[in-house]
Amino acid sequence: MDNGNKIIFLGTNGWYDTDTGNTISILVDCRDYSIILDAGIGIYKLDKYIDFSKPAFLFLSHFHLDHLYGLHILNKFSFKKGLTIFGQEGTKGILDIIVNTPFSMPMDKLPYRTDVLEVPGETTALPFYSEVLPMEHTSPTLGLRIIVDDKIITYCPDTGLCSNALSLARNADILIAECAYRPGEIHNSWPHLNPESAASIAKESGAKNLFLVHFDASRYKDRESRVDAEKAAQKIFPAAIACFDGLTIGF
C-alpha cells in the first residue's frame, strides 16, 4: 500500500547553481515528520512540498558552503512544530556564526523554535533510527543512514570511495550518493565519487536503488552530461538514476 512517503530532490548540483540545477538539498517527506538532507540553495523550494504542521529535521553533512548557504532562507518558512538541525560535533558553533548577524537572521529571531543537535552523541533525541559515519573528504563530513517506515535510506554526500559508505549503504532500499566527477575521473587529493564508484558502492552493499546527486556544476554543464553519468553507472548497477531538480519518488 502506498503510504504517501516521498523523496523530493530540491537541489542536485554541487558547488554552485546553474540552469541545470540548484545546490544540494533533498526532502524526505514522511507521514509523521519531514527530514531535509543538507541546505543548499535548493532548499528555497521546500514550501512547495512540505507540510509545515509536522516536525522537521535538517541534517547538515558538513560545512562546505554549497551544503549550507541556503540557511539564510530559513526565515521564509513556518515550521509550526519547530525545526531540529543535526550534524557533526561543532555544528552549534558554526551555526552561531553563519545563521547570525551580519550574515543572516539569527536563529533566535526566526518565526519558530530551532534546536541544534550534535551527533552521534544526541542521535537518540531523533524520532527515527539514524546512524552516522565519517566520509572521506577534504573537510570532516558525515554520511547518514535512516530507517523510515521500515525503509532504509542512505545518504552519502561528499566522499571518496570508502568502507564507511559501504557500511551505511548495506541493504539500503534507497541509496542517495554524490557524483561530482565525470565517468572515469579520479582526483585523490580532493575525494569525490564518479558514476562508476557510486555504482560500485550500491552493488557491493546490496542496495536496491541508486540515485546520483551533487553533480559538480563545472563538470556537468547540461542534462546530457548527467545522462552520460547514468549510463556509466548502469553498466555496473542497472538500478541507477541520475537525479534532476524536482524528481519525486515514492517509498
Question: pLDDT digit string (tens) for 132-146?
Answer: 999 999 999 999 999
Q: Find the CATH number of the domain harbouring 208.
A: 3.60.15.10
Q: Which domain holds residue 244?
A: 6-250
| Under 8 Å between Cβ of 139 and 108 | no
126 part of a folded domain: yes
Is 118 in a helix, a strand, or coil? Answer: strand
**Contact between 110 and 140 (Cβ < 8 Å):** no
Alpha helices in the chain (DSSP H): 91-98, 163-169, 195-205, 223-234
Residue 150 lies in a domain: yes
Beta strands in the chain (DSSP E): 6-11, 13-14, 25-29, 34-37, 56-60, 83-87, 114-118, 129-134, 142-148, 151-156, 174-178, 210-213, 215-216, 240-242, 248-250
In this structure, what C-alpha cell is assigned to residue 210? Answer: 541508486
DSSP single-letter state for residue 23 = B
Which pLDDT score is estimated for 121? 75
Q: How confident is the model at residue 1 (pLDDT cuts 50, 70, 90)?
A: very low
Cell readout for 227 is 545522462
For residue 173, is it within any domain? yes
CA 131 to chain CA centroid, nearest Å: 14
* 190 domain-assigned: yes
pLDDT in tens, 73-90: 999 999 999 999 999 999
> What value does the mean pLDDT take over residues 187-192?
95
1 domain-assigned: no
Question: Does any domain span residue 212?
Answer: yes
**CA separation for the pair 251, 249 (Å, rounded):** 7
In-domain check, residue 144: yes
The number of folded domains in the chain is 1
Tell me the chain's radius of gyration from C-alpha atoms: 17
Residue 39 maps to a domain: yes
